Amino acid sequence: MATKHKGALADWPKVTIPIDPRLHRNIKGSAAKQGVTLKDWITEAIIRRLEDEIDLTEGLASLAEPGENIPWEQAKAEYEALRRQREVSAGN
């Protein structure tokens, strides 16, 4: 997914993080296989993660009765369990 917005990219915020060289090679290889830039691959991964969190929050909110408190700590634990399960599945 290419992100295309009007305006100079020079005005966009930049993020610099240290990353394990093996992980970097894996990301770079995956991006190449998909025919996208490293920036677009990472942007899409971030968007998917945020969408997962939004889906989880909205899903839990839809289960709550009006005025009912949502057990966020439990929801977070369930989300983390789901994330770990996906990581294990992706590693196979």
CB 60 within 8 A of CB 75: yes
- pTM, rounded to two decimals: 0.52
Expressed in angstroms, the distance from the first to the final Cα of the chain is: 25
User: Residue 32 region, left (φ>0) first, then alpha (ψ -120 to 50), else beta?
Assistant: alpha
- The pLDDT assigned to 20 comes to 95
Q: What is the pLDDT of residue 92?
A: 53
Count of positions (residues) in the chain: 92
In this predicted structure, what is the pLDDT of residue 27?
95
| Local confidence band at 40 (pLDDT 50, 70, 90 cut-offs) | very high
Q: Which of 18-22, 53-57, 58-62 is most confident?
A: 18-22
Q: Are 2 and 38 in contact (CB under 8 A)?
A: no
In 3D, which of 54, 89, 49 has the Cα closest to residue 75? 54
d(CA 67, CA 64): 8
Q: 9-18, 21-30, 33-42 — which is least confidently predicted?
A: 9-18
pLDDT value for 64: 62
